[in-house]
Structures are given as structure tokens and as C-alpha cells.
Amino acid sequence: MSKTARVIPFPRYRREPEPLLTIRDLVDRYQMSERWFRYKLAEGMPAHRWGGCWRFRASEIEAWMESRDAS
């Protein structure tokens, strides 16, 4: 083992995990219908299955929407 081992500092702060949102939360946040979000889910909107229900991260949804607008 080498004597010049590099020490990796531990982060001084810990980010809180981003909360997972339900479709109802997305409806309230973006003021679009639940049907619109289900249609976009079929188009490939990023989502996670959690306990038999769909859950979403707002940052992933916003990035996906922006990428769709750019094309």
C-alpha cells in the first residue's frame, strides 16, 4: 500500500432528498389536469412506481418539459 494515499473529505452538509410527488401534487403545482399528466406519462414523462402508485420528482419533470420544448 502506498504512503501517498489521498483522503477524500466528507461533505460538510447533507442535502435533503427531494420529495416524491403524486399526480394530485403535480396538478396543484402546475395547474394542469390529471388527464394531461396521465397523457404525458404515456409519452414517457419520468416517473417512479412506489407502492403501486406513480410518484414524480419535480426537478425531473421540469427538465423533461424543458427538453420537450427545446426540440
18 in a structural domain: no
State how many domains the chain has: 1
- Tell me, yes or no, whether 60 lies in a domain: yes
Residue 14 covered by a domain? no
Residue 44, domain member (yes or no):
yes
Q: In angstroms, how far is the first alpha carbon of the chain from the final one? A: 52
Confirm whether 40 is domain-assigned: yes
- Residue 48 belongs to what domain range? 23-70
Write the pLDDT tens digit of every residue in 20-69: 999 999 999 999 999 999 999 999 999 999 888 999 999 999 999 999 87
Q: Which three cell numbers stand for residue 38?
A: 396521465
Please give the pLDDT value at position 2. 59
C-alpha cell at 21: 410527488
Inside any domain, residue 43: yes
Structural domain includes residue 53? yes
Q: Which of 42, 66, 46, 65 is nearest to 55 (CA)?
A: 46
Cα Rg of the chain (Å, integer): 19
Domain assignment present for residue 39? The answer is yes
